[in-house]
Amino acid sequence: MSKGVKRNPDKIVWSIFSQNPIAAKLLKVNPKDGEILKDRIEFEDTLTKKKYNEISTYNKLHWHYLSKNPSIFHIN
């Protein structure tokens, strides 16, 4: 991922990222970039339901698409 994205994860459109197999492949190529996704998951997990619902749909991980994205999973 670009250094700009690493420095500005708040600029990521998480709903689109969730659907993008290429973004997931970039995380595999650059495992440290996976920290961005991990950090986002942890951030969303700490929010109260009210705070979570205040986040724009475009700024949330879209779990439906993320779980359907075959590139996000590593199966041995």
Distance in angstroms (rounded) separating the CA atoms of residues 60 and 76: 29
Does the reported pTM lie above 0.85?
no
Which residues are CB-contacts of 37 (< 8 A; sequence separation ≥ 6)? Answer: 27
Q: What is the per-residue pLDDT for 21?
A: 72
Torsion sign (Cα): 47, 7, 59, 71? negative
- pLDDT single digits (tens) 45-73: 999 999 989 988 778 877 777 777 666 65
Give the domain ranges of the chain.
Answer: 3-72
